[in-house]
Amino acid sequence: MNLSRILHDRLGAKIKELVDQNGELTLTLSPDDVQEAVRTLRDAVDLGFEQLIDLCGVDYLHYGVGEWATESASTEGFGRGVQPSTSAHFTFHDAPRPSAHQGPRFAVVYHLLSISHNWRLRVKVFCADDEFPRVPSVTDVWAVANWFEREAFDLFGILFDGHPDLRRLLTDYGFVGHPFRKDFPLIGHVEMRYDSEQQRVIYEPVSIEPRVLVPKVIRRDNRYAGEGTQDA
């Protein structure tokens, strides 16, 4: 039986969007429907998504806005390069660019596997609040979600209501901010080092200067161009 049809029969109005792209189904749910929907996905005999393969956060702040556009490679050889997609030079001190994504900024993505039916499903839930993003925890449905949700909280600042022990997992407990957010500075907020006088690790303001790495343009090689003078 067709998975898309089963999902419509089982979840009905809970489905906000169901997209079939490149043979992969992506199901979008509302945060209010997550708990009931994922239990149905796990327990319904004709669905049987007994395994949560992965759970991650997504920040759509600059989604669809690229700083660099890549040229097409030519048959002449090494002609592939990159050019700025806008004439304005972007630095860390500039105001944030407007996002091409319309809608909530943060989302939680679940990757599910049904062993009995050999089906895979991607479930996406957008957080209603951009300032304090939150969704219900699914740890009582799939116990493996425990550390996945802690990772998403640590890196993106997404809160999971009902999680039994929601705390940082990869960064220090005193870490400032969430490093996978698009507006988190690449140089961070603080740096740490061992102080021999105090004989302990200390935190200090970042001392390095922020900079933008400009991709290197690869020039054409005349060995493959046939005729012409090699670019300087």
- The domains found in the chain, sorted by start residue, are 3-63+84-167 (3.30.460.80)
Q: What is the pTM of this model?
A: 0.75
What pLDDT does residue 38 have?
97
What pLDDT does residue 67 have?
59
Q: How far is CA 58 from CA 20, 110, 112, in A?
A: 20, 11, 17
What pLDDT does residue 179 have?
94
What pLDDT does residue 188 have?
83
Q: What is the pLDDT of residues 48-92, one digit of tens each?
A: 999 999 999 999 998 877 655 555 555 554 444 555 444 444 333
Burial 32-71 (b: 16+ CB within 10 A, else e): ebbbebbebbbeeeebbbeebeebbbbbbbbeeeeeeeee
Q: Which residues contact 83 (CB under 8 A, 6 or more apart)?
A: 68, 69, 71, 217
Q: What is the pLDDT of residues 162-191, one digit of tens each?
A: 999 999 999 987 788 999 999 998 888 888
Q: What is the pLDDT of residues 97-147, one digit of tens each?
A: 455 678 899 999 999 999 999 999 999 999 999 999 999 999 999 999 999
What pLDDT does residue 92 have?
35
